[in-house]
Chain A
Amino acid sequence: MSKFKKKKSGELPAISTASLPDIVFMLLFFFMVATVMRQNTLMIENKLPYADQIEKLDKKNLVMYIYAGKPSSRYRASAGNTARIQLNDKFAAVEDIKAFILAERASKREEEVPYLTTALKVDGDTNMGLVGDIKNELREVEALKINYTTRQGSASQNLK
């Protein structure tokens, strides 16, 4: 029943956490800026096959993407059931590839053009006929560096 409690004097003052939200927001902004969002909305099924002899594709700005596969269920009514090619955000025909490559080349600086790589993101169930046609088109415009984009895994997983 002590009326006059002695104030404790040895206590440490609490660390101010007022600036903590600022720090966290700074981090949040960093990650928001550093994260690359997906460039294209996929309109096709894109289950990539597996491979283990792979190389990384760095220098994202020097890569042109060609997608191919069956139209996903939303677009099946309008685009049909057979495998299609997708360039940028729309379906394309095989003949459009040349124009696409030339447009991509024109948008790059001249000294970068020899380093341009074409990444083929093709669904595993696609027939080779379509892929062969794409490759022929690429050969004709001399876009010879290609990369079959795959997932990491043993090749035997493809046969299931």
Chain B
Amino acid sequence: MARRSAPEVNAGSMADIAFLLLIFFLVTTTIETDSGISRKLPPPQDTDQPPPILKEKNIFVVEVNKNNDLLVEEVPMELKDLREAAIKFLDNGGGTGEDRCGYCQGAKDPSSSDNPTKAVISLRNNRETTYSTYIAVQNELVAAYTTLRNREAERLYGKSFEQMEKDLKDVNYAGNKETLKEDIKKIQFLFPEKLSEAEPKK
């Protein structure tokens, strides 16, 4: 019997198959960029250097115990109220004379912080606190600073602080980057992020 040549396979649909694969991978791939809360650790300390003396009223103590309960200024608090409380503390501006705060809009309560530049938030956690609670608390405290900085930037420069930082990174930003940098520095000076973390207690 004469051998018949095999019929040629139609390759016309190969493109379709390849397209199908391509589209599948296009949809499923996420070019992953990590994001998170950026922090700066304090440099290693000299033990013989005495800690700076702070007034009791300028410290806002946030404590998280091992059951993940929040204790703010020795009063139990829910996480959702923390941001508000931190803003109230930072923005209080109860100082007079040298410590007077011209841009604060808070209650000016003399028993709370004098000036945002003086106010320190002290975060203390237990060794058994879970990480997710810690991140939640950090997030709220950072949010408090961001809210205040946004407000101040809006008042002075007519745009939010977050927008200013975004502009600084933007390659196509039309304005002057040098002045923008200065402006950002100024806002950061008005509301410096003073978040201290105490060594956890056992």
A140 to B42, CA, bound (A): 10
Contact B37 A150, beta carbon cutoff 8 Å: yes
Contact B40 A146, beta carbon cutoff 8 Å: yes
Contact B37 A55, beta carbon cutoff 8 Å: yes
Residue of B nearest to A121 (CB): B34
Count of chain A residues with Cβ under 8 Å from any Cβ of B?
A: 55
A133 to B60, CA, bound (A): 24
Whether, in the assembled complex, A72 has its beta carbon less than 8 Å from a beta carbon of chain B, the answer is: no
Q: Pull 13 A–B residue pairs with CB atoms less than 8 Å apart, ordered by A.
A: A34-B31, A54-B35, A54-B36, A127-B129, A127-B131, A131-B131, A139-B41, A146-B40, A149-B35, A150-B139, A155-B140, A158-B133, A159-B132
Contact B36 A17, beta carbon cutoff 8 Å: no
Q: Which of B32, B34, B146 contacts A119 (CB 8 A)?
A: B34
Contact A150 B35, beta carbon cutoff 8 Å: yes
Contact B36 A147, beta carbon cutoff 8 Å: yes
Contact A155 B127, beta carbon cutoff 8 Å: no
Mark contacts of A115-126 with chain B using CB atoms, 8 A cut-off: 1 yes-contact digit, 0 otherwise: 001011111111
The smallest C-beta distance from A21 to any residue of chain B, in angstroms, reads: 5
Residues in chain B near residue A73, CB distance under 8 A: none
Count of chain B residues with Cβ under 8 Å from any Cβ of A?
A: 47
The smallest C-beta distance from A8 to any residue of chain B, in angstroms, reads: 23
A49 to B149, CA, bound (A): 25
Interface of A, helix, strand, loop or mixed by DSSP: mixed
A-B contact count (CB 8 A): 158
Whether, in the assembled complex, A2 has its beta carbon less than 8 Å from a beta carbon of chain B, the answer is: no
Whether, in the assembled complex, B1 has its beta carbon less than 8 Å from a beta carbon of chain A, the answer is: no
Whether, in the assembled complex, B117 has its beta carbon less than 8 Å from a beta carbon of chain A, the answer is: no
A143 to B136, CA, bound (A): 23
Residues in chain B near residue A58, CB distance under 8 A: 33
Whether, in the assembled complex, A63 has its beta carbon less than 8 Å from a beta carbon of chain B, the answer is: yes
The smallest C-beta distance from B90 to any residue of chain A, in angstroms, reads: 15
A63 to B42, CA, bound (A): 19
Residues in chain A near residue B42, CB distance under 8 A: 139, 144
A123 to B140, CA, bound (A): 19
Contact B132 A158, beta carbon cutoff 8 Å: yes
Residues in chain B near residue A125, CB distance under 8 A: 130-132
A148 to B139, CA, bound (A): 10
Whether, in the assembled complex, A31 has its beta carbon less than 8 Å from a beta carbon of chain B, the answer is: yes
Contact B29 A31, beta carbon cutoff 8 Å: yes
Known: A21-B15, A139-B43, A159-B136. A129 touches B36 (CB 8 A): no
Whether, in the assembled complex, A1 has its beta carbon less than 8 Å from a beta carbon of chain B, the answer is: no
Residues in chain B near residue A124, CB distance under 8 A: 130-132, 135
Contact A158 B143, beta carbon cutoff 8 Å: no
Contact A52 B38, beta carbon cutoff 8 Å: no
Residue of B nearest to A53 (CB): B142
Contact B36 A156, beta carbon cutoff 8 Å: no
Known: A63-B34, A128-B131, A159-B133. A138 touches B41 (CB 8 A): yes
